[in-house]
Structure 1
Amino acid sequence: MASLKEEMHKELLSILNYWESNTVDTTNGGFIGAIDFTDTKDYSAEKGSVLNARILWAFSASYAVTKDVSHLRIAERAYKYILKNFYDVAFGGIFWSLNTDGTPKDTKNQVYALAFTIYGLSEFYAASKNEEALQLAVNLFEKIEEHSFDKEHKGYFEAFTRDWKPIDDLRLSDKDANEKKTMNTHLHIVEGYANLYRVWPEERLKEVITQLLITINDHFINAETGHLHLFFNEEWVEKPDVISYGHDIEAAWLLQWCAEVIKDESLIAIYKKHAVTMADATFEGIDDIDGGLWYEFDPYTEELIAEKHWWPQSELLIGMVNAWQLTGNDKYLNAAQHNWQFVKDYIIDKLNGEWIWGVDIDYAKIEKDKAGFWKCPYHNARACLELINRLP
C-alpha cells in the first residue's frame, strides 16, 4: 500500500504537468479546446464549460496536496476565464461552450455544467479564499434551485435555454436518452453542492443536499442489484437503459462522501451499505484477466460495450479502496491494485504523459481525445488524490 500511495503521488504530478505544459492557450486565452490521440493540438476546437470547470477543480484540489504555486496559478487562470467568458452575466447561467476566441457558441444552460462549475469554484475558494469565487458558486446554486428543481415531483430538470426557458434537446451527449431527469446530472449536482457546503455551511444548503440524497436513494439506486437507474421523465417513470459500470462505482463512494460532508448519520449508514453493494456489483464488469473495467453492458440485448475507458478505471480505484476501508475485505484492495496495474500497462501514455481515452477488447488504442470537451484532468487526478488521502 505504501508503494501504491507513492505511485499515486507521482502520477498526480505527471497528470498536472501534462495539462500545465500542453493545454494553456496563450493565443486565445483559457485552455486549448482539444488535443487528439496523436497529441496534436486543435486551436480551433470549441471550448467546453465542463472541461474548464474540471481543470479549475483538479488544480485547486491538487494544490492542497502539492503546495505548488504553479498549480494554484493554473486554477486561477481557469477561474478568471470562467468568470470572464463562460459566466452569463445577463441571465446568471453558464454557457455550454465557446468559440475558440472566447465568444459564446452554445448558450444553453445544461445544469450538469453549472454543477461542475460550483464544484470547481468551491474548491478554488478552499485553496485561494477568493470571496468572489465563493459568491459566484452561491449564485449558481440559487439559479439551479430557482429554475431546475421540480417542486412537484422533486429532483432536477436537465437543461434550459440561455434565459431559462424549456428546451427540446435535454441531452448531455448524443449517446444519452432525451429525458428530463438523469442519474448523471443528479450525481454531480449533489457532488457540487456537497463541495460548496464544505466552505459555505448554510442550513438551507444542507437541507437541499439531504433531500437530494433521499431522492437519489428513492429513484436512482437499485438496492438489490447494486446498479443505477439512469433515465426518467419528470414523474419518475424510468426509461430502461444500459448498466454503466463506471457510474455505479463512482456513485458508490461519492454519495457516501456527500452524506459524510453534511454529517447526516442516517444517510451515512444508508450510503455505506450502498457503497459495498455497488462495489460488489461492479465486479460483474471487471475483466478477470487484466483487472480493467468494461464500459457498459446492455442487459436487454446482453451486449457488452467491450471497451475500457480511462474514467471508469479511475472511479474503480477509489470505489474499491473505499469498500476495503468499510469492510476490511482484501478482495476490494486487490481489485484496486489489479486495476492500477492495468492502467499502467494500457492507459497511461508513457511517452507523452496523461492517460489515453481507452482500449478496445484487443487492446488497440481508442482514437479519441487526450484532452477535450469530455477528456479532463478530473477523474484520474481525483483518483490519485483520493488514494493519497485514503491509503495508510
Structure 2
Amino acid sequence: MGFDYQWSKIFRNGIWLVVLIMVIGGCRDQGAEAGEETGSRQQRIAAEIDSVLNDQYQLWYPRVVDREHGGFFSRFTYDWRPEGVQDKFIVTQARHVWSTSKIAFRDERHRDFEKYGEHGFRFLREVMWDREHGGFYNMVTHKGEVITGDDGQIRKQLYGNAFAIYGLAAYYQVSEDREALRLAQKAFQWLERGAYDREYGGYFNSLTREGQPYEEDFPKDYNSSIHMLEALAELHLVWPDSLLRDRLYEMFRIVRDTIVTDKGYMNLYFRKDWSPVVYSDSSRSLQEEMQATDHITFGHDIETAFLLLEAAHSLEFDADSTLKKAKKMVDHTIDHAWDEKEGGIYDYGYYFQGDDSLTVTQTSKEWWSQVEALHSLLIMADYFPGDPRRYFGHFIRQWAYIKKYMLDHEHGGWYRSGIDEEPEERTAPKATVWKGNYHTIRGLLRSRELLEQMSQSSHSE
C-alpha cells in the first residue's frame, strides 16, 4: 500500500519498459563510458543517487533533532552550523515527519529513522496542535511558544495544515500508530468545518485561529491547492474514508481542470468562485507590474504533473485520464524553461502581450524545481518511450546539471539554487524554515526506484 502501490501502478505496463530500454540503448549520457549497456547505466545512476541520499540522511539527522524542546531545528549555515533564531514552522516540522517516515518505510537499512518520525509526530501533537480550537499553529518559538501575526492575532494556514496531514499519514504508514492517524483525521475534519468552501468547492487559504476564512482579495491559490491535493491523496491511501475520497476527487478535478490551463501551466491566484487572477489581456507595463501575482512557475508545473498522477492512483483511476494533461505540463516546462546550454530549469516566465513566445523572467534554478523535474522526467520516459531524447535524455542532462551545480561537494547538501546562475549561493544557508529536505528526499527516492526497476527489466531481457 502507499509508496509500493503507487509505483507498481505507474509501472504496471511492462511492455513499455521493454520498448523504452530497446529504444534508448544507443543513447549516451554525459560521462557514460563508451559501450556502457543501458541496464548498467541505469544501475550506475541509481547508485549515484543512492550515495547522494545517504549524504542527505547523515547531514540532516540527527543534526536537526531538537532533543531539549522537541521538533526539529530550522536554520543552518552553508557548512552546517546552527545559526540564528530557530523558530519552528509547521511546514518544516511536518515535512521532516514525512521525510523520515518515508526513509524508514522505503529503506530497510534506515528503518531506525522511524524514531525521528515519532519524535516529530509528538511535537506536532503536543506543541503545534491547538488544543482549544483545533488546527495547527503556523509558527512557534524554539521553546514552543505560539508566535502571533503583526496584528497580535493567531493565524492559521491551509498550506501548513495540509503538510501536517501529509506527514502524519506517512508516519502512520510506517508505524501503524493509531494516534498519528487520529490526529490526521482531526486536522482533516477541522478543515472540513471551516476552510472548506461549500458553495464553490475547494479550500480557503488563510484562516482565523478558530478555522474560519478571513477576507482576502484572492482567497484561493494554486500552491495551497496542490499541496492539499497531495495531503488528501496520502491520507486516502491509509484511510479510505468516503468523505475524504469525495474531497480528494474534488481537489483533483479543481487542480487538473481549473488551475492547470490548456497550455500546460497553472494560473496562480483565484477569487472565491475559482475565476483566475490574470492579466493576459492587459498592457505589458501592467503585466510586468503584476508579476508577483501572475506568472508561470515552471517548477510547480512539473511537480504538479506528478502530483496529479499520484492523486489519480490514490483514487484508483486509470492514469490515461490524466496523463494527457500531465504530459502537457512537463512538455511546456521543457519547451520554455530548459537551459539548453547548461541544463536545469528556470524559475519564472510569462507570455507578455504582443510577444510571440514566452519570456523567462527569473533565471534562478531553485533546488526543489530541479529535483522535482528529475523524477517527473523519468515518469514521462516510462509512459512515452518513443522519443528517448525527449524525456530520458533530459533526465540524464538534469542529473548531470544537479551534480555539477546543485550539490555542494565540499560541505555536503544542496545549494538553494544553481551556482551557474547564482554563484553567491555557495555561502547561503543550507537550511531555513523554507529550505528543508522533503523535495530532495522524495525526488531522489522515487528516481532511484524507477531506475532500479528499469535496470532489472533490462537485465531480464
Q: Smaller-chain TM-score range?
A: over 0.9
CA deviation digits over 1:46-97, x for unaligned, max 9?
A: 1111001000001101112222243111111111111111111111100111
Q: Secondary structure in 1 aligned to 2:198?
A: coil
What is the CA distance between 1:39 and its match in structure 2? Answer: 3.1
- Conserved 8 A contact 1:32-1:42: no
Give the match for residue 379 of structure 1.
439
CA deviation digits over 1:344-379, x for unaligned, max 9?
A: 111111222221101365441336431121111110
Identify, as 1 or 2, the structure richer in strand: 1
What is the CA distance between 1:37 and its match in structure 2? Answer: 3.3
Q: Secondary structure in 1 aligned to 2:61?
A: helix
Distance, in Å, in 1 between the alignment partners of 2:421 and 2:105 is 39
Distance, in Å, in 2 between the alignment partners of 1:164 and 1:204 is 19
5+ long unaligned stretches in structure 2: 1-41, 149-153, 279-293, 354-358, 455-461
CA deviation digits over 1:103-122, x for unaligned, max 9?
A: 11144220111111111000
Give the match for residue 16 of structure 1.
57
Question: Greater Rg, structure 1 or structure 2?
Answer: 2
AA paired with 1:84?
E
Alignment RMSD: 1.7
CA deviation digits over 1:148-182, x for unaligned, max 9?
A: 111111121101111123335x6xxxxxxx62111
Give the match for residue 183 of structure 1.
222
Give the counterpart of 1:335 among 391, 394, 399: 394
- Conserved 8 A contact 2:195-2:213: no
Residue range with higher mean Cα deviation, 185-194 or 232-241: 232-241
Give the match for residue 191 of structure 2.
144
Give the match for residue 257 of structure 2.
218
Q: Secondary structure in 1 aligned to 2:147?
A: strand
* CA distance 1:213–1:64, change in 2 (3 Å): same
Distance, in Å, in 1 between the alignment partners of 2:246 and 2:122 is 31
Give the match for residue 173 of structure 1.
none
Equivalences for 1:55-204 in 2 at 5 Å?
55-67=96-108, 68-106=110-148, 107-167=154-214, 179-204=218-243
* CA distance 1:7–1:149, change in 2 (3 Å): same
AA paired with 2:255?
I
- Conserved 8 A contact 2:133-2:210: yes
Distance, in Å, in 1 between the alignment partners of 2:424 and 2:344 is 14
Q: Secondary structure in 1 aligned to 2:309?
A: helix
Give the match for residue 235 of structure 1.
273
Distance, in Å, in 2 between the alignment partners of 1:208 and 1:303 is 35
5+ long unaligned stretches in structure 1: 171-177
Distance, in Å, in 2 between the alignment partners of 1:386 and 1:275 is 17
- Conserved 8 A contact 1:306-1:361: no
- Conserved 8 A contact 1:122-1:199: yes
- Conserved 8 A contact 1:346-1:363: no
AA paired with 2:324?
K
- Conserved 8 A contact 1:243-1:296: yes
1:4 equivalent to 2:45? Answer: yes
What is the CA distance between 1:38 and its match in structure 2? Answer: 4.7
Distance, in Å, in 2 between the alignment partners of 1:305 and 1:250 is 18
1:370 equivalent to 2:421? Answer: no
Give the match for residue 305 of structure 1.
362
AA paired with 1:314?
V
Equivalences for 1:221-370 in 2 at 5 Å?
221-223=260-262, 225-240=263-278, 241-265=294-318, 268-283=319-334, 284-300=336-352, 302=359, 304-328=361-385, 329-330=387-388, 331-359=390-418, 362-366=421-425, 368-370=428-430
Give the match for residue 36 of structure 1.
77
% identity of equivalent residues: 26
Residue range with higher mean Cα deviation, 350-359 or 247-256: 350-359
What is the CA distance between 1:246 and its match in structure 2? Answer: 0.3
Q: Secondary structure in 2 aligned to 1:104?
A: coil
Distance, in Å, in 2 between the alignment partners of 1:289 and 1:188 is 32
AA paired with 2:432?
G
Distance, in Å, in 2 between the alignment partners of 1:143 and 1:15 is 34
Distance, in Å, in 2 between the alignment partners of 1:146 and 1:192 is 17
What is the CA distance between 1:297 and its match in structure 2? Answer: 1.3
Distance, in Å, in 1 between the alignment partners of 2:123 and 2:331 is 41
What is the CA distance between 1:40 and its match in structure 2? Answer: 3.4
Distance, in Å, in 2 between the alignment partners of 1:20 and 1:361 is 29
- Conserved 8 A contact 2:105-2:111: no
Q: Secondary structure in 1 aligned to 2:424?
A: coil
What is the CA distance between 1:230 and its match in structure 2? Answer: 1.1
Distance, in Å, in 2 between the alignment partners of 1:360 and 1:243 is 22
Q: Secondary structure in 1 aligned to 2:124?
A: helix
Equivalences for 1:40-59 in 2 at 5 Å?
40-42=81-83, 44-59=85-100
Q: With the length of structure 1 as denominator, give the TM-score of the two structures.
A: 0.93
What is the CA distance between 1:291 and its match in structure 2? Answer: 1.3
Q: Secondary structure in 2 aligned to 1:22?
A: coil
CA deviation digits over 1:266-307, x for unaligned, max 9?
A: xx3232111211111011101111211111113338452110
Distance, in Å, in 1 between the alignment partners of 2:84 and 2:144 is 12
Distance, in Å, in 2 between the alignment partners of 1:365 and 1:345 is 15
Distance, in Å, in 1 between the alignment partners of 2:413 and 2:99 is 14
Q: Secondary structure in 2 aligned to 1:34?
A: coil
